[in-house]
Amino acid sequence: MEVVTVTYWGFDGKKHQGQIVVDRRLAGEVKQIFRDLEAAEYPIEKVVPVVKYRWHDQSSVDDNNTSGFNYRTIEGPGIRSKKLSKHATGRAIDLDPYYNPFVSASGKSPRRYDPAHPASLTRTSRAVKIFKKYGWRWGGDWRGAKDYQHFEKP
């Protein structure tokens, strides 16, 4: 794993610096993705390693923290698995998760997904296009359940 320092536009309209932990082999690519997000002026509330939240994913999500590595299993509303998440390998990033919730196939979600919010991710969002340009998959494209915050590198 590697700690990557990134610069981004905050919700306050100012530039901020944060850190995200990812698979060492993806560090350079993640730096470039965040440079592209910065150039596109995509708003990000914060980027802090999940250790600040004592590795509790939901606490990080509730604080709208953009994060990468977190050694955990796959989980979501109505989903509990013993399979490791891509976050456990540092090959996934959740971007502004509070505004981009997981929505189960039945429509169950902890929060309403509002595509009109400036930080919400949609198929036409510059942020989604940036990640896809580098070969990342977006959870908003999944069949059935949607994980709008989630990007993963195969």
The string of pLDDT tens digits covering residues 18-52 is: 999 999 999 999 999 999 999 999 999 999 999 99
Q: What is the mean pLDDT of the chain?
A: 95
How wide is the angle at C-alpha 153 spanned by C-alphas 82 and 101, nearest 5°?
A: 65
- Res 75: pLDDT: 76
> Please, which residues bridge with residue 137 across strands?
152
- Res 89: pLDDT: 98
- Return d(Cα 67, Cα 77) in angstroms, integer: 19
- Res 79: pLDDT: 72
By the 8 A CB rule, do 47 and 19 touch? yes
The count of structural domains within the chain is: 1
- Res 78: pLDDT: 65
Average pLDDT estimate for 67-77:
88
Domain with 122, as residue range(s), is 2-152
Taking Cα atoms as reference points, which of 56, 43, 50, 53 lies closest to residue 10? 43
Task: For residue 66, give Cα distances in angstroms to 88, 108, 139.
Answer: 15, 22, 15
Average pLDDT estimate for 122-145:
97
Residue 77 has pLDDT above 70, yes or no: no
Helix (H) or strand (E) holding 31: helix 27-39
- Return d(Cα 113, Cα 110) in angstroms, integer: 9
